[in-house]
Each structure stands twice: as C-alpha cells, then as structure tokens.
Amino acid sequence: MEVEKGNSVHKLIFFIITIPLIYLTIALILVFIPFERHIQESGLDFTVIDKGTFSTETAEERNYITRDSTQLFYRYIEGRADVTIILLHGSGSEGRYLIPLAAKLNSSSDVTVVIPDLRGHGRSQGGFPGDVHYLGQLEHDLEDLLSHLKLSSQSSTFLIGGHSSGGGLVVKYGGNSLSQFDGAILLAPYLGYQAPTVRPNSGGWVQVAKFRYAGLAMLNGIGITYLNNQPVLFFNRPVGVTDELQVDSYRLNESFSPQTYGSDLSKYKKPILLLVGEEDEAFYPQVYKNVMLKNAPHAELHILEKTKHLNLTSSDRTAALIVKWLEK
C-alpha cells in the first residue's frame, strides 16, 4: 500500500511539473512561429481622403504630461460653448485626419475640440511607435488628459468620441466605472475581434499574426507579459500611402480593443451617438443595430448613405448629426 501511495505522489508531482511546462512550451512555440507578411489587394479605400483639408492652422498644438512623466501631444480648437469634445483617431494613424470634423463642430456649435495623438502614434510616438508600456495605458493617458484639460477649461461638460479603434477605446473606457465623460460619440467603432460587426481582417485593413496572438494571450493568462511588445497587427496600406507606423504590438492592440464590448456598452448609461457608413469596408453597418439594441438601447444610431470607413469623419452629414445630437 505504501508503494502504491508513493507512486501516486510521484505521478501527481510529475503532472504538476509537466503540465505547466507543456502549456508554456506551446505558448512560446505559437509566439515564435515564423510570420509571413501578405499584402492584400482589398482593403480600405484611401482615395476618399482629401488630404488638402488636413490643414493644422486651425488647431493649436499643445502637450500634456502623463502620470509616468511622458509628454504627449494634442491639437486644440477653442470654443466658447460649455462643451469640450475629445476626438480619438483610429489604429495605424494619428489625429490630423480628424481636424476637418473638429473644425466643423467648432464653427457650428462653438464647442472646444481636443485631438490627441495617442501614445505610440503620430507626435506621441516617442521611441515606441505602435506600442505602449503596459496593458491599459491608453486609458490612464485619457484620464490624465481629462485632468489636464479640467485645470484650464471653463467647460463643465466633457464628451469623448472616437473613430474605428479610437471608437473601440471609447467603448472600453466608457465601460470603466471611473469614466468621467458625459457622453460618447462612436464613429464606426471597432468593438473587438469577437464582435459580429467586424469583417474578416477588418475588410483587409489589417493582417493578424494569429498564432503569435494566441500564444501571447496564453502567456498573459498565466501572468507572463514580457513579450507583449511583439507586433501582432500589420496594416495594409495601398502603394504610395506609406507611414512609419506599420504595426501594433499586442499590448497596444489590447489597450485599444474592448474585450467585453457588450458589458462595456451596457455599463455606459450616459448618452451615446453611433454613426457608421453604409459602405464601410471594415465593419458590417447593419449589425450595429442589433448590437446596440441589445447592449445600449438608449443609443442613437445612424447609417450614412454613400459613406465609407475613411470618409465618415469628413462627411458634412456626420458633422450635422453630431451638432443635432449636441443640441439635444
């Protein structure tokens, strides 16, 4: 009997040691499986972007200091109304393309508009393009930006809006009980890879290193975050449209994306406006209806005719609908 008991103990110890090693080995193999880059012909229509409207002369350039003593960049258009709107850009981009929308909102409603370059992007890249220092840092940066603005602003109402992945960050942050924003503007928001609104590979805009992503998720599941700087998203820009920001790391993408979009939306009881183009290449426009009805029935939703993913923010109809929503 003692021999059998001893064998059972040895087997138990063997499994206790072996199973975690097998798990860790599988995770590391997935992370380091060679990744082959494929440039897809289909993707977002960049021809709808009018770069001539990206003039920065209408916006003042400013900086703020975050809790980790990093200086981040934002553009500022001042208004006299009692409302400040922070607009967040999408992944693989920076804030300049939101200037036309910000200028229209400012001229129509006299609101103050703030357009930050999120950490890892544009003029807030520092030495870490496409990366942050830890999971959730973008939310901390938003809190720090809001605190910074409240020190000098006369506004009592602060709204937050975002396009694409920027909209996803709004949803993610809005579901946080610490959110201090009074309303949310979602422009074709990315709700996470599991959301039914997302087309495969976001309509060809991104290529995902799926094995690497799965391996990193496994490692994070047991508290190993050392490899979270590994790139997992690769952006598909057409020939002639180049940018040094070509990838997103695991921790940046996870910081952008809602992991539980339904829960995040249902927690946010303040006013929500969601706009999406009828011809959006990255997401399924009609599916947003069911998603919002189920999780945020108080939201106001509009699907804009003859509008794609990249010209949603520059559409006069988008600005008009936001102005009308603000008046309510």
Q: What is the pLDDT of residues 182-222, one digit of tens each?
A: 999 999 999 998 899 999 888 888 889 999 999 999 999 99
- What average pLDDT does the segment 31-41 reach? 82
Domain that holds residue 124: 50-210+236-327
pLDDT of residue 214: 95
Confidence of residue 36 (pLDDT cuts 50, 70, 90): confident
Number of domains in the chain: 1
Tell me whether residue 42 is in a domain.
Answer: no
Tell me: pLDDT of 264 over 70.
Answer: yes
In a domain, 215, yes or no: no
pLDDT in tens, 265-311: 999 999 999 999 999 999 999 999 999 999 999 999 999 999 999 99
Is residue 118 over pLDDT 80? yes
Answer yes or no: is 69 within a domain: yes
Mean predicted confidence (pLDDT) in 134-152: 94
pLDDT for the residue 53:
67
Q: Over 80: is that where the pLDDT of 239 sits? A: no
* pLDDT recorded at residue 206: 87
CATH number at residue 289: 3.40.50.1820
Q: How far apart are CA 51 and CA 311, in angstroms?
A: 11
Q: Is 28 within the bounds of a domain? A: no
What is the spatial distance between Cα 102 and Cα 85, in angstroms, rounded to a whole number?
Answer: 9
pLDDT band at 168 (very low <50, low <70, confident <90, very high): very high
Q: Would 226 be classed as within a structural domain?
A: no
pLDDT of residue 43: 77
- What's the pLDDT at 19? 81
| Predicted confidence (pLDDT) per residue in 169-185, tens digit | 999 998 876 678 999 99
For residues 114-139, b (16+ Cβ closer than 10 Å) or e, as one string?
A: bbbbbbbbbbbbeeebbbbbeeebbb
Helices (H), the chain: 2-32, 99-109, 137-152, 165-174, 201-204, 210-221, 250-256, 261-267, 287-295, 316-327
Residue 165 lies in a domain: yes
Q: Looking at residue 232, what is its pLDDT?
A: 93
Residue 12 lies in a domain: no
Q: What are the structure tokens assigned to 78, written together?
A: 């001042």
Phi-psi region of 69 (alpha: psi -120 to 50; beta: other; left: phi over 0): left
Token digits of residue 75: 């553009």
pLDDT interval class at 80 (50, 70, 90): very high
Looking at residue 128, its pLDDT comes to 82
**Lowest mean pLDDT across 18-32, 102-116, 307-321:** 18-32
Residue 50's pLDDT is 77
Mean pLDDT rounded to a whole number for the chain: 89
Residue 241: pLDDT band (50, 70, 90) is low
Q: Does the residue 41 lie in any domain?
A: no
